[in-house]
Structure 1
């Protein structure tokens, strides 16, 4: 009897050790804190002039700010989006040297205020600067942001357009056209056929025969290519290849069509 009790006690100890070992293993395999997933928080930077007539000059920038995850990747994404905003929001011959959104908005308002004080007649109309950046597409390889922008600093009308910012999701680096296209020459020829078909431009007629304004009368890819879940879009903003009154023009391709020409999607 005593021998049986000893054996039973030994078995219980073994079972307890196995259970303790199992629990320890579970704790050691928890996800480390430094592998947090990259997230975005919507930020808004706005400023208004105090020199107002019928309306006040203002600047309003909405942008998703990358945070958590890899700091180097987040910083690279944020800087890429800021550089685009800085290339849009300014008055004069060239963009400002602003280092952040606060400086950028302040410099724009300062430009108006100085002009309004020195030449009141030149600043009769309030200026507007609006940017709304949104993440339109994301895969394991890339992120595609759309920078919708509207600027008015006097004249007959303002200007609205969209810019595409395509970023390598693994490095945060901004991708150029050569980074996303395998065969730019081949894709250009392919895109021209669809463009002509969409706008009813015969293959035997010059590309500008219907009033377009391609440089040297030769078809060219636009500055902006957008990704979506269904395919890619070539976007020509107003006045890029046509008059302001004709507005923007775009050509859409499914991934089945564009796939052979793409390096990433």
Structure 2
């Protein structure tokens, strides 16, 4: 018994050391000229969750946040971390302003917050809320879902989450049509939607909550900006037999 006790304690300590833990960090940068507040300023504020002991998860979260920062693509910037991202946002704005001498350039704004939306012993769901404005009137915002296996750190796609995807897709489509009064005798795109190939598809933005599972379609994803977001909610009982993660 004395020999088994140290082994048990070692296993316990190993298990604790491998537990996935997240911490919140802030990354901000700004530029403000003395002119009117609606012009000649750039502000970026990000509050992100980072895993203390899983760099693969951190890398995937960062790459998604970088993808949402469209100014990088326009400037072909080589961004490798959050500090470079915030500084790149401000420097890109200054460059745009300097290219138009003696002219006011409308302010830029980028706000982002990532959170642990839901987690079990098996998986964790990270949500990214974002809003950006590059001088346009209304700006653009949305929410992105990332789901990870807590043991491997790998990102889970729909095929890893649900069995029999065609059936799940049909179930979601039926509830979508009912909620938004979409007629069966007309094509989706003839009713104001813009589904690729005029065919309903399952969004990658799948959010887990205490109440159930939500499928979220962001602004401009399947319809015009003015119509906003679309979402369909299910209880766990409704989709339980198709769930591959618990």
Q: Distance in 2 between matches of 1:110 and 1:53?
A: 18
Deviations 1:141-187 (A, max 9, x none): 11001100001112232101000011111111111222112111111
Partner of residue 191 from structure 1, selected from 167, 172, 176: 172
How well do the aligned residues superpose, as a CA RMSD in angstroms? 2.3
> Which blocks of at least 5 consecutive residues in structure 1 are unaligned?
1-20
| TM-score of the pair, normalised by structure 1 | 0.82
1:5 alignment counterpart: none
User: Cα–Cα, structure 1 residues 84 and 53, in superposed 2: closer, same or farther, change >3 Å?
Assistant: farther
Partner of residue 30 from structure 2, selected from 15, 23, 48: 48
User: Cα–Cα, structure 1 residues 221 and 119, in superposed 2: closer, same or farther, change >3 Å?
Assistant: same
2:151 alignment counterpart: 170
Shift of 1:95: 6.3
1:80 alignment counterpart: 60
Q: Distance in 1 between matches of 2:196 and 2:233?
A: 22
- Count of residue pairs the alignment pairs up: 239
> Which blocks of at least 5 consecutive residues in structure 2 are unaligned?
none
Partner of residue 49 from structure 2, selected from 50, 64, 71: 64
2:117 alignment counterpart: 136
Shift of 1:203: 2.3
Contact 2:20 2:150 in 1 (8 A): no
Q: Distance in 1 between matches of 2:15 and 2:182?
A: 55
Shift of 1:34: 7.4
Secondary structure of the equivalent of 2:219? coil
Q: Which has the larger radius of gyration?
A: 1
* Alignment pair present for 1:181 and 2:166: no
Contact 2:147 2:156 in 1 (8 A): yes
2:196 alignment counterpart: 215
User: Cα–Cα, structure 1 residues 227 and 112, in superposed 2: closer, same or farther, change >3 Å?
Assistant: same
| TM-score of the pair, normalised by structure 2 | 0.88
Q: Distance in 1 between matches of 2:156 and 2:34?
A: 41
Shift of 1:118: 1.4
